[in-house]
Amino acid sequence: MQGRWAGVRGVVGRWADPLVLMIVAVLVLGLLVPADGSFAAVLDHVRTAAIVLLFFLYGARMHATEVRAGLRNWKLQGSMLAATYVVFPLLGLAVQLLPDHVMAPDLRTGMLFLSVLPSTVQSSVVFTSIARGNVAGAITGATVSNVLGIVVTPLLVGVLMSRTGGSTGGSLAATLLQLLLPFAAGQAVQPWIGGWVRAHPHLLKISDRSTILLVAYTSVSEAQTSGAWSHITWVALLVLVVVCAALLAAMLSLTWRAGAGLRLPYPDRIALLMCGSKKSLATGLPMAAVLFSPVVAASVTLPVVVFHQLQLATCAVVARRLADRDGQSV
């Protein structure tokens, strides 16, 4: 009997990842008790502070040699950009072949918009860190993707959707101020505090998880309070979830196999998997407000929100399982 319960606990422990359970909990909380008013404004500042602290700690933890190696790794950086701006858009175009009675045109447009967004930075790097991948390569690759996306995404939207994009300078400023500047500051003080930060890994672990949970709650909360989902039926939402899940599964499979085909080291394969399979909600929402009319933007951003939550929950499991595997056996 004890052996039987031990087996059950083993299965539950394998699939019921604590981080996933926490993400699900904050998603439900965001739907039932969304932040609004002054609380939402305060929470937004807290999220920004958490992201800044996270990237400062990443910079303080890493030796400068690791960062330089990440920038010189052209094979990894090139494969990340190809996944984000070539493979993803091709799959987004394939979704457009779905008939109207399966997926509404505005949601298909949202899927195409999702496919041309840059990679998300913070969660890609966090999950790379949890999976024991190449964090330096993930930071440089995801950040380059995000900065290039300020230009590339509106360009692709104009080419693929016959629309013209507006200025997105605010997103670039946020990327520089919230991500690159804290990381550079951490690198600057790394010779003095780097040893202490590396000796206290629990600080980075707490920062990792709290940032993911804040992003998950605030994104759902913002969608709920804005009324972006009010006209979506349960059937349409279910179809959207299935299509987003299929897209995510395809990108996870393709990037993992591509890493093996390119003979990337195991830590680099993890970085490619995590960065090449994700899309940025933080960049997508403000860009949608510029590139689309308010009526269209509400539907277009829904696939971005759904995909974002799926990638957080799925990659939490994937990252933990990769961390438990022996990289030499893959």
Q: What is the pLDDT of residues 235-244, one digit of tens each?
A: 998 999 999 9
| The two structure tokens encoding residue 169 | 């300078």
Q: What is the pLDDT of residue 123?
A: 85
Residue 96: other Cβ atoms inside 10 A: 14
End-to-end CA gap in the chain = 35
Q: Quote the pLDDT of residue 229.
A: 61
Q: Note whether 307 and 113 are within 8 A (CB).
A: no
Quickly name the fold that domain 17-325 has: Na+/H+ antiporter like fold (1.20.1530)
Low-confidence ranges of the chain (pLDDT < 50): 1-16, 163-170, 327-330
Handedness of CA 198, 316, 214, 295 (dihedral sign): positive
Q: Looking at residue 147, what is its pLDDT?
A: 66
Each residue of 129-186: pLDDT tens digit?
A: 999 899 888 888 887 887 677 778 888 887 887 643 343 344 556 656 776 788 789 8
Helix spans in the chain (H): 2-15, 18-32, 37-61, 64-72, 74-82, 88-95, 105-115, 122-130, 135-161, 169-175, 181-199, 201-226, 234-261, 266-276, 281-291, 294-323
- The DSSP result for 188-214, as a single string, is HHHHHHHHHHHH-HHHHHHHHHHHHHH
The alpha-carbon radius of gyration of the chain (Å, integer) is: 20
- Tell me what pLDDT residue 156 has: 87
What pLDDT does residue 330 have? 43
CA angle (149 as vertex; 145, 155 as ends), nearest 5: 140
pLDDT in the model for residue 294: 56
Task: Report the predicted TM-score, pTM, of the whole model to 2 decimal places.
Answer: 0.71
